[in-house]
Amino acid sequence: MSETLEQAVTVETAKELGLLPEEFDKIKEYLGRTPNFTELSIYSVMWSEHCSYKNSIVWLKTLPKDGPHMLVQAGAENAGLVAIGDGLACAFKIESHNHPSAIEPYQGAATGVGGINRDIFTMGARPVAQLNSLRFGNLSLDKTRWLLRGVVKGIGDYGNAFGVPTVGGELFFDDCYNINPLVNAMSAGIVEVGKTISATSYGVGNPVYIVGSATGKDGIHGATFASGDLHEDSAEDLPSVQVGDPFTEKLLLEASLEVIASGAVVGMQDMGAAGIICSTSEMSAKGKHGMVIHLDKVPTRQKHMQAWEILLSESQERMLIVVKRGREPEVRKIFDKWDLNCVQIGEVTSGTQLKFFMDGEMVADVPADSLVLGGGAPVYHREYSVPSYFYENKRFRIDEIEEPEDLREVGQFLLRHPNIASRRWVYRQYDSMVGTVNMSTNAPSDAAIVNLKRSDKALALTVDCNSRYVHADPEQGCAIAVAEAARNIVCSGGEPSAITNCLNFGNPYNKEVYWQFVNAIKGMGKACRKFQTPVTGGNVSFYNQSSDEGPVFPTPTIGMLGVLQSKSHRMTLDFKRAGDSIFLIGESVNDINSSEYLYSWHKRKNTPAPHFDLDTEYAVQQVVKQLIRKGLVASAHDVSDGGLFIALAESGFPNNLGFSIETDFDCRADAFLFGEAQSRVVVSVNEQHIDAFVDYLSTVNNVTWSNLGTVTEGEVLIDEQSWGSIGEMKAEYETVIEKMMNVE
C-alpha cells in the first residue's frame, strides 16, 4: 500500500470538510481503518446534503412515485422518464444552482443550464425545451440588479449557443432573497421508448472512459459548497463555481447520442456534482461492480493536479462511459469525429471496491456502496417544530384591512409591481425559437407548448411556486404550487402527467426550517395523488440562507409535464374578439390572504395562505378540460398572482382588447379583484357557443361559475367606471422591469 494511502487524518480534518464526528467514525468503520485525506474528501462530497439527501430522503420517500406512464423508478436515473404516447418518452428534470449563482451569477446560471441538459441527453434523450425559476431580492438594490443581469445573460448565452429554446419560467422578487438568490433550471427531452441508456456499470474487464472536456480545478468541493450557509466570506469560494462551454456541450450532445445509438456502451453518466467520484461510485453501486481508475490518465487543464482535485473537480461538459470490451475503436472514432477527448482511465472489476491510482500508487480504496444514497450514506430523522409566526398568520381576519377608496390606483400599482409586470426584459434575451418547437411564442398560454414533430401530440411544460404562500402555510402552499402547475397545463389544453421538483429551503438543522420542509412534502404528496402526477425525481437544495439575514422563503418549485393528446386541443389565454362573453369558472371568495395586494400595498406580511380546497380545484380543472375539448371557449387563463384583475388584463394585452365586468357584491371589491383565492379560471366564449357553453355547465353540480361581462374594443370598465385603455395598461406593464434595470 502506498505512503499516500497510509497518511491518516483526524476528526478535526473531517469537521473542516463538513463531516460530523459520528460520520467520521462511520467512515472508519466502513474502511476498517482511518481514511487518508483523499478518501476523506471523497466521503465529504458524497455525504454532503447535495449528493446524499441525508436530511431529506426519509420524507422524499413518502411522495407518490408510481404512475401508469412512468418508465423508470424515481431517482433511479439522471432524470425522470415518462411515456407520452406514439412510442415516445419525455425525460425531464429540474435542479438548482443557487450558491454558485450568488457568487458568480453568469457562470453559476450558465453551468446550471448545462448540467440539467446533460442529465437529459445522458439518458439518450435529445433536449427540446428549457425553463427556469428565478428568485431575487429587492429589485431596487444594485446587488439584485447585478445578480439578475448576470443570471439572465448566463442562461441566455448558454441556452442560445447550445441550441435549445427557453420556453417558459417564472421570476419573483422578495427581500428574503437579497443575499441568497434561487436559480432553478429545468430541461425536457424526447427519446423513443426503449432507446434510453442507464447510468450503470457492469461486466468485468469492460473499459471505463472519460469523454468531453479536460478536467480543471473549477468546481472542486462544489457539492460541499452547496451544502452550507452563505456568509460574508463566500466569495472566497469562487473556485467552487464551475465554468461552462456551451459549444463543447453541443458537440458532446451529438457524440453522446451517436455513441448510445451504436450499442457499444454499457452505461453513461454525467459528471455533475462531485465529478469523477460521483460518477464512478453511483454507476458501480448500481451495477454491483467495482472499478480501477488511473487518475493520471485523466486529461487535465492544469499541470500537477492532486489526486483529490481530479476526483472532486466539477469541470463541465464531461461524461463517464463504460464501453463493451472490443468496441473501443468504434467509440473512439465517434468522439474523434466530434473533436472531443475520449480516454480510457480504468476498467470494471469484480466486487464493489473503487480503487484509484495516481502515477502507479493507490491513493484511495473505498467501497462504492458506502458512498451513495440508498447504500451507506447516512440517513437522518431531524427534529422539527412549528414556528410562532404560523399561529400569528392564522389569527388574521380580512376585517382588519380597510378597503381602499380608489381601487383603480391599486390596479395600476399591481400592474407596475415587478412580481406581476411583464418579464419581457428577461425573455427577450433568450432564443425561444431555436429548434422550431416552441408553439407559444406568438400564441401565449398558461403553460409552454412544445411541438412533437413526429406526432399529433404536444408537450405542455410549466414551473410554479408562490413561495409566499408556502411560507404562510407550507402544506397548503405547496399543494397550491402543484395545483397551479396542473391548472396551467389544463388551461393550455393539456393533461397533467408527472412532476419534478426543486426543493429550496434553509438550514435543515434549524427545527423551524425543517418543519417547513416536512409540511411542504406533505402538501406536495397530497396534491400529486389527487392529480395523479407522480414525482419523477428532482433536487433538494438546503442551506439557502445567509448568516446574517436568515433563511429564504421555503420554495418547493414544481416542474410539471403535461401532454396535449392532440394539437387541436391547444388553448391560449388571449381574448380573441370584442363582444365575446367573459365567464369565471370557480367561486369568488372574500379572501385576500398572502396576495400581492395585501403584502405590497397594505404591507401586511403575516397572513394565512390563500383560500384553497383540493377537491374543488380538481373539479374546476375537469370542467375547464371538457370546455376546451368540446371547443366551447375561445380563451382560458388561470387566476393567480395579482388576482382576477391581472388575469383579465393579461388576457387583453396580446390583442389590445379590453373588458367590461361587474364585481360580485357578495364579497368585498378588493377581494373580488385582487384576492388570490385559488381554483378560478377566466374564459371567453364566442356568441355562437354561448348556449352550448351554458348547457354544459348546467349539468355540472360541483363547480360554481358566473358571467363577468364582455370583451371590449380596448376600454377597461369595472362596474361601469372607466379604468383607462388596455393599451395604456400594456405600455406600463411591459416596461416596468426594463426601466428598473436601466437605473444606474
Q: Which of 50, 69, 289, 637 is catalytic?
A: 50
In terms of C-beta density within 10 A (0-12 exposed, 13-18 middle, 19 or more buried), how is residue 250 classed?
A: middle
Within the chain, how many helices (H) and strands (E) appear?
26, 26
Asked about 602 being catalytic, the answer comes back as no
Which of 278, 122, 289, 286 shows the shortest CA–CA distance to 202?
A: 289
Q: What strands, in cross-sheet order, belong to the sheet with 182-192? A: 80-85, 88-96, 182-192, 126-136, 166-173
Instruction: Report the alpha-carbon distance of residue 551 to residue 513 in Å, rounded.
Output: 8
For 410, 595, 644, the CA distances from 388, given in Å and listed in that order, are 31, 21, 32
Q: 252 by DSSP, 3-state: which?
A: helix
Helices within 439-581 (DSSP H only): 467-472, 474-491, 511-531
Buried b (16+ CB within 10 A) or exposed e, 203-214: beebbbbbbbbb
- What is the CA angle 458-270-205, rounded to 5? 125
586 phi-psi bin (left φ>0, alpha ψ -120 to 50, beta other): left
| Torsion 293-297-298-302 (CA) sign | positive
Task: Supply the angle between the helices 511-531 and 474-491 in degrees, to the nearest 10.
Answer: 30
Q: 682 by DSSP, 3-state: which?
A: strand
β-strands 126-136, 166-173 pairing = parallel
DSSP state of 485: H
Asked about 381 being catalytic, the answer comes back as no
Please answer whether residues 429 and 153 qualify as being in contact, where contact means their C-beta atoms are separated by less than 8 angstroms: yes
β-strands 88-96, 126-136 pairing = unpaired
Instruction: Report the alpha-carbon distance of residue 239 to residue 562 in Å, rounded.
Output: 39
Residue 697 sits at φ, ψ, to 5 deg, of: -65, -25
β-strands 495-504, 535-541 pairing = parallel
- What is the CA angle 361-365-369, rounded to 5? 155
Residues in Cβ contact with 662 at an 8 Å cutoff, skipping those fewer than 6 apart: 708, 709, 718, 719, 720
> What is the grid cell recorded at 87?
412510442
Q: Which of 69, 97, 294, 471 is catalytic?
A: 97
DSSP 266-281: EEEEE--TTHHHHHHH
- What is the CA angle 680-641-426, rounded to 5? 130
> What is the grid cell recorded at 233?
466570506
Instruction: Report the alpha-carbon distance of residue 617 to residue 676 in Å, rounded.
Output: 14
- What is the CA angle 417-418-422, rounded to 5? 100
Annotated active-site positions, please?
Answer: 50, 97
